[in-house]
Amino acid sequence: MKLKHPRETYRNREWMKGRKGIISNAWKGGEYKDNWGYIWIYNPEHPNNRNNYIRKHRLIMEQYIDRYLTEDEHIHHINGIKDDNRIDNLQIVNIKEHGSLEGRKAKGIPKLTLRKEPIKKSCIYCKNEFIIKRGYLIQKFCSYNCYSKFSKGKTKKEVRNYES
C-alpha cells in the first residue's frame, strides 16, 4: 500500500485507517496526563478500559491485590497528589467514602473518624451536656436553637472554627 503525501492527509484520511495504538504516527508511548492530573496508560486488553486507556492508579492497585477492581471501588490518593501512584499512597474506598474524603479536604475541614459508641459533649452556647449517639465528633451544639442563637451575626466559617 502506497502512503499519500502529507499534504493530502487533510483531504483523504483513508491511508490512516487501521493505524491505531503503537503503529500510529501520533504514538507518544501509551501514557498521558489528563486535565485533572491523572495518568492514563494504553491497555486495550483490560476489561474496564475507556477508549483503550485505563488510569494508572487503578492498574497499580489491581496488580497489588491481584484482581480487577469493581465499578463501585474507587482509589483514593492519600496525600492528594493524583500522579503520585506509590502503593502506600493509594487506598481502596467506596464512592460514598471517597466523596466525603475529597469534599472535606477541598473545604479545609479535618478528616472525620466514625464513632461507634455514644459520647458526651458540652454545648458551646448553653454549656449543657448532650450525648452524640452515632456519627461524627463534629457536633458542637445540643439543639438547633442553640446553634441559631450562637451563629447570629457570624459567618458559617466562624462558627465552624470556633473552639470552646
Task: For CA atoms 57, 60, 66, 67, give the dihedral sign.
Answer: positive
Q: How far is CA 151 from CA 76, 127, 145, in A?
A: 34, 15, 10
Domain coordinates in residue numbering, the chain: 30-107, 119-161
Q: Which residues pair with 115 in a beta bridge?
A: 135
Answer for the pair 47, 36: CB distance below 8 angstroms, yes or no.
no
pLDDT in the model for residue 62:
93
pTM greater than 0.75 (yes/no): no
Q: How far is CA 25 from CA 17, 50, 51, 52, in A?
A: 12, 21, 18, 17
pLDDT in the model for residue 145:
87
Q: For the chain, 164 residues long, give each residue's pLDDT as a single digit of tens.
A: 555 555 555 545 665 666 667 777 777 778 888 888 899 999 889 998 888 899 999 999 999 999 999 888 889 888 888 888 999 989 888 877 777 776 665 556 555 555 567 788 888 888 888 887 665 556 788 888 888 888 888 877 777 777 65
What grid cell was written down for 111?
A: 478528616
